[in-house]
Amino acid sequence: MKEILTPTVTEHLKLLDRAFENSTRLGIMSALMVADSVSYTELKNLLKVSDGNIAGHIKILEREEYISVIKQFIDRKPNTSYSVTEKGRTAFLRHLDALEAILKQR
């Protein structure tokens, strides 16, 4: 059965996913939502963060199974690229829905 009551802001707040509350991770997800895959280096340059930093955020998203990795050699150089998983896409959309509901009251 469908929902009848509009959940309150409070309820939407509980639907927020902490994995997406960090702006770097938000950036990673945003990039992966609009591109089939994005490389490690592209992400790092795009978001202007250190190696240690982006690697940490990537690891968190990987641990949640929100993104997947593809390791290959391109032009004889190592290339690590990331894609959003179905689980990640769903979770991210849910997060954005909650955010949207919260900010709609503006």
From the list its own copies, DNA, none, partner contacted by residue 40 (C-beta under 5 to 8 A by kind)? DNA
From the list DNA, its own copies, none, partner contacted by residue 85 (C-beta under 5 to 8 A by kind)? none
Separation between Cα atoms, residue 106 and residue 99, nearest integer Å = 12
- Cβ-contact 88, 65 below 8 angstroms: yes
Residues that bind DNA (CB under 7 A): 18, 21-24, 39-41, 49-53, 55-60, 69, 71, 73, 76-81
Among 22, 37, 68, 79, binds its own copies (CB under 8 A): 22
DSSP 15-55: H--GGGSSHHHHHHHHHHHHSS-EEHHHHHHHHT--HHHHH
Q: Is residue 103 a contact residue for its own copies (CB under 8 A)?
A: yes
From the list its own copies, DNA, none, partner contacted by residue 16 (C-beta under 5 to 8 A by kind)? its own copies
> For the chain, give me the number of helices (H) and strands (E)?
5, 3
Q: Is residue 26 a contact residue for its own copies (CB under 8 A)?
A: yes
Q: Is residue 35 a contact residue for its own copies (CB under 8 A)?
A: no
